[in-house]
Amino acid sequence: MFVKWDGEKIIAGPQGAPAGEGWLPYIKAENKQPRQPCTFRYSEELGAVIQELGEEFTPNWREQRSEGYGRLTDQLDKMFHDITNGTLTTDGEWYQSIQAVKDAIPKPEETDGD
């Protein structure tokens, strides 16, 4: 859904309205990325943030890995199935999925920890 600021309040737009022409994405405040520069207005009626992003946001390697690992509940489900199947090893689904993210998003050499 898109919304726009009419100078006094936020107006809800139609589903699928094109961005531009004053229409901006409807984004809840809790969905804003960490460190993401933006300007916004809060609406009591919609409980929304109109987010106008500043410069291109590039998440750091930790944020990228966190996104790549997926939800914790999904990770625990993979671990459960690996335990049930007797594959909670480096050959198991959970380990392989985590390793794929680590390989795709390498940690910079100057950092400590994993």
> Where are the chain's structural domains?
2-53, 61-104
Looking at residue 76, what is its pLDDT? 96
Condensed to tens digits (0 to 9), the pLDDT of residues 22-52 reads 666 665 555 555 555 555 666 666 555 555 5
Q: Which residue has the tokens 């950092």?
A: 111
Buried b (16+ CB within 10 A) or exposed e, 6-39: eeeebeebeeebeeeeebbbbbeeeeeeeeeeee
pLDDT digits (tens, 9 = 90+) for 48-97: 555 555 555 677 888 889 889 999 999 999 999 999 999 999 999 999 99
Q: Examine the pLDDT at 104 and tell me if it is beyond 80.
A: yes
| Contacts of range 34-37, beta carbons closer than 8 Å, 24 or more positions apart | 34/59, 34/63
pLDDT in tens, 7-22: 666 666 655 555 556 6
Predicted local confidence at residue 3, as pLDDT = 67
Report DSSP state, residue 20: B
